[in-house]
C-alpha cells in the first residue's frame, strides 16, 4: 500500500462511520445555508437598477424557490 | 432494438432542422462585428440565456446515457442536475458572473490575465482550447453512435451532416445564433422528454404503482444476479448488495439520491457532495467558457444574474425528464443487463411512441446534441481568436477583421471536429474514455485560480500559475494511478475503489491548486494594485481606477 492509498483508505474509513441520515442532512444543510445566504442578499444586488422594480423582479424569490424545490427533493428521495 | 422511423417522423425531424437553420441564419444576418459574433453585442435577454444554459449543459449523449445509467443505478443520477447544478448556479449567478460581466471580458482566460498574468491566461486558454477541440470530435462521434443505435443512421453521414448544420448557423451568427437556436432546441428537447415521461407514467398506472414496480424490478434483478453469481462476488462490492438483500421490505436504493460510500454507482455521497456540488459544478458554471460566455453577452448585469437563476429553476425539472424514463424502461424491459442499459431509452421510445411522436423524440435528441456542439464550437473559436490571435498576432485588429477571423476559425474547427471524430472511430476505446475524462483534469484547477483571484487580493500571479499547473498534474497523476495497466506496472492496487473516479480527481486537483497557490503567494510579493483591483473586494470600475 502506497502513501496515497493510505490517505484514501483512512478518509474512506472515516466516511464509512458517518450514518446515512447524517449524510442526507449534510445535503439538506448545504441547501439551507444557501437559502439563508440568498435571503440576506441586499436588495440592490437582486433587482434591476435605476428604477422601481416589481415584486417578481426580485431574484431572491426565484432563487429561494429553486432551493426550496431542492430541499423537498432531497427530503423525499 | 432501434426506433423505426416513418415518413411522418422524418417530416418532423426535417421541420425541426429547417426551423433551426432559419433562426440561426436570420439572427446571423444582424451580425456586423467581432463583438456581435463573440458576445452578441452584449444584447442577450435573460430568458434566452437561461434556456441556452440548460440546453447546452445537456448533450445528446447525456439524454440517452443518463437514461441508461438511471436504469443501472437509479435516481442517484439526478444528483448531476440537482445538487450538481442548482447551488453552484445560484452562487455563480449572484457573485461570480456579475463580476465577470462588470470586468467587461470576453473570455475567462482574459479575466485571469487582468487579475494575474499573461502566462496564466495562455496556459488556461490552451488547456480549455485543447479540451473543447477534442470534445467537439467526441460529441460528434458519440452522438453518431447513438443515432446508429437509435435509428440505424449511418455514422459517417451523421457526423458530417450534424457538423455541417451546426457549422453553418454558428458561422453565420456566432453567439447570438447559438443562444437563440438553443432556445428552440431547449423547447424541443423538453417537449420530447416530457412526452416520454407522461406516457410512461400513464402506462405504469400512475406514480405510486410505478414506484412499487421499480422496487419489484430491482428485487427481481438482484435475485437473478444472486442465482447466477457466487456469494463472494457480492462481498467484493463492499457487501452493499448483500445488505440490501437482507432487507425485508423489498425496497431498493433505486430511488435514493444519497448513496453509501462504497456504492457501485458513479455517485457515492462523498463524491457527490464534496466532488460534484462543491468543486466540479462550481468549476463548470463559473469556469467553463462555453457556459459563461452567453452570460457575458447579457444586456445588463441584472440580466446576467437573472439568466442563471432562471436556469437553476429549469434545472429542477430536468432529471424528471431525462432520468425517470430510465426507471420506466427498467420496469418494461427488466431483462437488459448493465452492459445493455444504454438501449433502455431507445427501446422505451420505440414501445411508447407512435409515428410522428418518435420523430419528435429524435428531434429532441438532435436538439440536445446540436445545442452542445454549437456552444463548444463558438467558445473554442472565441478563445482562439481572443486569447491567441488577438493577443499574440494582431492586438489592434479592428472589429471587421475579428469577425472575419472568427468565421474562418469556426470553419476550421468544424473541419477539425469531423476529422477528429473519424480518427476516434478507429482508436482503442480506452483513448476515447480519456477524452471524456479530460474535463475533470482542468475544471478543479480553473475553479481554484478563479476563486483565489476574485475572493482574495493577496494571492499573486506566480502562485496562481504554479497552483494551476500543479492542480492539472495532480488530476492527471491520479487518473493514471487509477488505470489498471499503470497499477499492474507499478504492482499496486488502483487508487480508487469506484470505476468512474473523476469527481475525486477534481477534488484533489482543486485542493492542490489552492494549497500551492496560497503557499507560493504567501512567500512571494503581492501583485501590483492594478492587478488586485480585479478581485471582488478591491474592484474599481475603469473610470474610478484611472488617475
CA neighbor of B377 nearest in space, from B404, B347, B417, B337: B417
- What are the b/e assignments for B20-36, b being 16+ CB within 10 Å? bbebbbebbeebebbbb
Of B143 and B408, the structure prediction assigns the larger pLDDT to B408
Q: Would the pLDDT of B144 be above 90?
A: no
Is A77 close to B255, i.e. CB distance below 8 A?
yes
Q: Would the pLDDT of B474 be above 60?
A: yes
pLDDT, average across residues B248-275? 80
Residue A14 to residue B270: CA distance in whole angstroms: 11
Taking only the tens place, the pLDDT of each residue in B298-345 is 999 999 999 999 999 999 988 888 888 888 988 888 877 766 777 778
pLDDT, average across residues B172-192? 87
Residues near B386 by beta carbon (within 8 Å), at least 6 away in sequence: B38, B106, B107, B110
Angstroms from B52 CA to nearest CA on chain A: 18
For residue B11, what is its C-alpha cell? 417530416
Is A47 close to B302, i.e. CB distance below 8 A?
yes
For residue B189, what is its C-alpha cell? 428537447
Angstroms from B255 CA to nearest CA on chain A: 6
Angstroms from B90 CA to nearest CA on chain A: 7
Touching B: A residues 32-61, CB under 8 Å: 34, 38, 41, 45-49, 59
Minimum CA–CA partner of B261 in chain A: A16
Phi, psi of B299 (to 5 degrees): -75, -20
Q: Would the pLDDT of B250 be above 60?
A: no
Of B476 and B355, the structure prediction assigns the larger pLDDT to B476
Note whether B45 contacts A: Cβ–Cβ < 8 A: no
Chain A residues with CB under 8 Å of B91 CB are: 34
For residue B16, what is its C-alpha cell? 425541426
Mean pLDDT value across chain B = 85
Chain A residues with CB under 8 Å of B307 CB are: none
Helices in B353-483 by DSSP H: which ranges? 357-383, 399-424, 429-455, 461-481
Is A46 close to B94, i.e. CB distance below 8 A?
yes
Q: What is the largest CA-CA distance in chain A?
A: 65
Q: How far is CA B410 from the centre of its chain?
A: 21
Q: pLDDT class for B547, splitting at 50, 70, 90?
A: very low
Assess contact for A66 and B309: CB atoms under 8 A.
yes
Chain B residues with CB under 8 Å of A12 CB are: 261-262, 497
Residue B194 to residue B105: CA distance in whole angstroms: 37
Minimum CA–CA partner of B320 in chain A: A73
Chain A residues with CB under 8 Å of B309 CB are: 59, 62-63, 66
Is A30 close to B91, i.e. CB distance below 8 A?
no
Three-state SS sequence of B151-211: HCCCHHHHHHHHHHHHHHHHHHHHHHHHHHHHHHHHHHHHHHHHHHHHHHHHHHCCHHHHH
Q: Would the pLDDT of B472 be above 90?
A: yes
Is A66 close to B273, i.e. CB distance below 8 A?
no
Is A66 close to B75, i.e. CB distance below 8 A?
no
Q: Would the pLDDT of B237 be above 70?
A: no
Is B258 close to A23, i.e. CB distance below 8 A?
yes
Is B269 close to A27, i.e. CB distance below 8 A?
yes
- Cβ burial of B148 (10 Å; 0-12, 13-18, 19+) is middle
Quickly count: other Cβ atoms within 10 Å of residue B252's Cβ. 18
For residue B197, what is its C-alpha cell? 415521461
Task: Choose the closest CB to B260 out of A20, A63, A67.
Answer: A20
Touching A: B residues 277-306, CB under 8 Å: 277, 300-302, 305-306
- Cβ burial of B491 (10 Å; 0-12, 13-18, 19+) is exposed
Residue B331 to residue B317: CA distance in whole angstroms: 22
pLDDT, average across residues B245-263? 71
CA distances from residue B282 to B91, B287, B333, B355, B418 in whole angstroms, order as listed: 8, 8, 37, 41, 31
Residue A73 to residue B3: CA distance in whole angstroms: 33
Q: Mutating which of A1, A3, A10, A23 best tests the B interface, going by the most B Cβ atoms within 10 A?
A: A23
Q: How far is CA B437 from the centre of its chain?
A: 11
Q: pLDDT class for B452, splitting at 50, 70, 90?
A: very high
- Which pLDDT score is estimated for A51? 81
Angstroms from A22 CA to nearest CA on chain B: 10
Angstroms from A68 CA to nearest CA on chain B: 10
Taking only the tens place, the pLDDT of each residue in B62-100 is 777 788 888 888 888 889 889 999 999 999 999 999 999
Q: pLDDT class for B249, splitting at 50, 70, 90?
A: low
Radius of gyration, alpha carbons of chain B: 24
Is A77 close to B270, i.e. CB distance below 8 A?
no
Minimum CA–CA partner of B90 in chain A: A63
- Which pLDDT score is estimated for B256? 87
In sequence order, what DSSP letters do the residues of B269-286 get, joined into one string?
Answer: HHIIIIIIIIIIHHHHHH
Sign of CA dihedral B447, B448, B450, B455: positive
Chain B residues with CB under 8 Å of A30 CB are: 83, 87, 273, 277
Global ipTM: 0.93
In sequence order, what DSSP letters do the residues of B306-326 get, joined into one string?
Answer: HHHHHHHHHHHHHHHHHTHHH
Assess contact for B75 and B256: CB atoms under 8 A.
yes
- Which pLDDT score is estimated for B311? 94
Chain B residues with CB under 8 Å of A14 CB are: none
**% helix, strand, coil for chain A, step of 5:** 75, 0, 25
- Which pLDDT score is estimated for B544? 52
Residues near B537 by beta carbon (within 8 Å), at least 6 away in sequence: B455, B456, B457
Sign of CA dihedral B181, B183, B186, B192: negative
Q: Does residue B238 sit in helix, strand or coil? A: coil
Q: Would the pLDDT of B247 be above 50?
A: no
Note whether A71 contacts B: Cβ–Cβ < 8 A: no
Note whether B270 contacts A: Cβ–Cβ < 8 A: yes
CA neighbor of B51 nearest in space, from B252, B249, B314, B263: B314
Q: Would the pLDDT of B129 be above 70?
A: yes
Assess contact for B455 and B535: CB atoms under 8 A.
yes
What percentage of chain A reaches a pLDDT higher than 70?
100
For residue B152, what is its C-alpha cell? 440505424
Residue B20 to residue B42: CA distance in whole angstroms: 22
Task: Choose the closest CB to B495 out of A4, A47, A59.
Answer: A4
Q: Which of B419-433, B458-472, B479-493 has the lowest mean pLDDT?
A: B419-433
CA neighbor of B17 nearest in space, from B176, B194, B166: B166
Q: pLDDT class for B239, splitting at 50, 70, 90?
A: very low
The count of CB pairs under 8 A between chains A and B is 100
Angstroms from B87 CA to nearest CA on chain A: 7
Q: Would the pLDDT of B1 be above 60?
A: no
What percentage of chain B reaches a pLDDT higher than 90?
33
Q: pLDDT class for A1, splitting at 50, 70, 90?
A: confident
Taking only the tens place, the pLDDT of each residue in B386-437 is 999 999 998 888 989 999 999 999 999 999 999 998 888 877 655 556 666 7
Angle B199-B309-B450 from CA coordinates, rounded to 5°:
120
CA distances from residue B105 to B296, B349, B417 in whole angstroms, order as listed: 7, 44, 27
* N-terminal to C-terminal alpha carbon distance within chain A: 37
For residue B352, what is its C-alpha cell? 411508447
Residue B338 to residue B213: CA distance in whole angstroms: 19
Assess contact for B260 and A20: CB atoms under 8 A.
yes
Residue B330 to residue B264: CA distance in whole angstroms: 18
Note whether B316 contacts A: Cβ–Cβ < 8 A: yes
- Which pLDDT score is estimated for B449? 95
Phi, psi of B320 (to 5 degrees): -60, -30
Task: Choose the closest CB to B316 out of A16, A23, A69.
Answer: A69
- Which residue bears the cell 477534488? B507
Angstroms from B299 CA to nearest CA on chain A: 12
- Which pLDDT score is estimated for B439? 82
Residue B380 to residue B388: CA distance in whole angstroms: 11
Note whether B261 contacts A: Cβ–Cβ < 8 A: yes
What percentage of chain B reaches a pLDDT higher than 70?
90
Q: Does residue B134 sit in helix, strand or coil? A: helix
Amino acid at each position: 500500500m502506497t502513501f496515497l492509498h493510505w490517505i484514501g483508505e483512512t478518509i474512506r474509513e472515516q466516511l464509512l462511520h458517518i450514518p446515512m441520515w447524517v449524510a442526507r442532512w449534510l445535503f439538506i444543510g448545504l441547501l439551507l445555508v444557501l437559502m439563508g445566504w440568498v435571503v440576506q442578499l441586499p436588495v440592490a444586488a437582486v433587482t434591476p437598477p435605476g428604477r422601481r422594480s416589481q415584486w417578481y423582479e426580485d431574484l431572491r424569490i426565484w432563487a429561494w424557490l429553486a432551493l426550496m424545490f431542492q430541499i423537498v427533493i432531497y427530503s423525499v428521495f | 432494438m432501434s426506433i423505426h422511423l416513418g415518413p411522418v417522423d422524418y417530416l418532423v425531424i426535417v421541420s425541426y432542422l429547417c426551423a433551426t437553420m432559419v433562426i440561426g441564419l436570420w439572427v446571423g444576418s444582424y451580425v456586423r462585428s467581432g463583438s456581435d459574433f463573440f458576445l452578441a453585442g452584449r444584447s442577450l435577454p435573460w430568458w434566452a440565456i437561461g434556456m441556452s444554459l440548460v440546453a447546452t449543459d445537456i448533450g445528446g449523449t447525456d439524454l440517452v446515457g443518463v437514461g441508461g445509467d438511471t436504469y443501472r443505478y437509479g435516481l442517484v443520477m439526478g444528483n448531476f442536475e440537482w445538487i450538481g447544478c442548482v447551488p453552484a448556479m445560484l452562487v455563480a449567478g449572484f457573485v461570480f458572473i456579475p463580476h465577470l460581466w462588470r470586468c467587461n471580458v470576453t473570455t475567462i482566460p482574459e479575466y485571469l490575465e487582468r487579475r494575474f498574468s499573461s502566462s496564466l491566461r495562455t496556459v488556461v486558454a490552451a488547456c480549455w482550447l485543447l479540451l473543447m477541440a477534442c470534445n467537439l470530435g467526441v460529441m460528434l462521434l458519440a452522438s453518431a453512435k447513438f443515432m446508429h443505435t437509435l435509428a440505424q443512421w449511418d455514422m459517417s453521414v451523421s457526423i458530417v451532416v450534424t457538423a455541417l448544420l451546426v457549422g453553418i448557423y454558428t458561422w453565420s451568427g456566432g453567439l447570438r445564433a447559438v443562444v437563440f437556436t438553443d432556445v428552440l432546441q431547449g423547447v424541443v428537447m423538453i417537449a420530447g422528454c416530457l412526452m416520454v415521461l407522461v406516457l410512461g407514467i400513464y402506462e405504469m398506472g400512475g406514480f405510486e404503482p410505478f414506484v412499487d414496480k421499480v422496487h419489484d424490478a430491482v428485487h427481481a434483478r438482484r435475485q437473478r444476479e444472486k442465482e447466477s453469481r457466487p456469494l463472494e462476488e457480492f462481498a467484493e462490492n463492499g457487501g452493499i448488495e448483500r445488505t440490501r438483500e437482507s432487507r425485508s421490505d423489498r425496497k431498493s436504493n433505486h430511488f435514493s439520491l444519497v448513496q453509501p460510500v462504497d456504492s457501485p454507482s458513479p455517485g457515492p455521497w462523498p463524491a457527490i457532495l464534496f466532488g460534484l456540488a462543491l468543486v466540479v459544478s462550481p468549476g463548470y458554471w463559473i469556469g467553463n467558457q462555453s457556459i459563461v460566455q452567453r452570460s457575458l453577452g447579457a444586456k445588463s448585469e441584472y440580466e446576467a444574474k437573472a439568466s442563471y437563476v432562471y436556469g437553476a429553476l429549469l434545472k429542477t425539472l430536468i432529471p424528471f425528464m431525462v432520468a425517470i424514463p430510465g426507471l420506466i424502461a427498467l420496469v418494461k424491459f427488466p431483462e437488459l443487463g448493465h452492459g445493455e442499459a444504454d438501449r433502455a431509452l431507445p427501446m422505451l421510445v420505440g414501445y411508447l411512441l407512435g409515428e410522428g411522436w418518435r420523430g419528435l423524440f429524435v428531434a429532441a435528441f438532435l436538439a440536445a446534441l446540436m445545442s452542445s456542439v454549437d456552444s463548444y464550437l463558438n467558445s473554442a473559436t472565441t478563445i482562439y481568436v481572443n486569447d491567441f490571435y488577438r493577443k499574440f498576432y494582431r492586438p489592434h485588429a479592428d472589429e471587421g477583421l475579428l469577425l472575419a477571423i472568427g468565421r474562418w476559425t469556426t470553419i476550421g474547427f468544424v473541419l477539425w471536429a469531423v476529422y477528429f471524430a473519424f480518427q476516434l472511430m478507429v482508436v482503442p476505446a480506452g483513448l476515447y474514455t480519456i477524452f471524456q475524462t479530460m474535463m475533470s483534469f482542468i475544471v478543479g484547477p480553473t475553479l481554484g485560480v478563479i476563486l483565489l483571484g476574485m475572493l482574495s487580493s493577496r494571492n499573486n500571479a506566480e502562485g496562481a500559475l504554479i497552483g494551476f499547473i500543479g492542480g492539472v498534474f495532480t488530476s492527471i497523476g491520479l487518473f493514471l494511478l487509477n488505470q489498471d495497466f499503470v497499477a499492474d506496472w507499478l504492482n499496486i492496487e488502483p487508487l480508487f475503489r469506484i470505476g468512474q473516479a473523476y469527481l475525486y480527481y477534481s477534488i484533489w486537483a482543486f485542493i492542490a491548486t489552492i494549497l500551492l497557490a496560497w503557499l507560493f503567494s504567501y512567500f512571494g510579493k503581492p501583485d501590483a494594485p492594478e492587478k488586485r483591483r480585479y478581485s471582488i473586494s478591491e474592484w474599481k470600475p475603469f473610470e474610478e481606477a484611472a488617475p
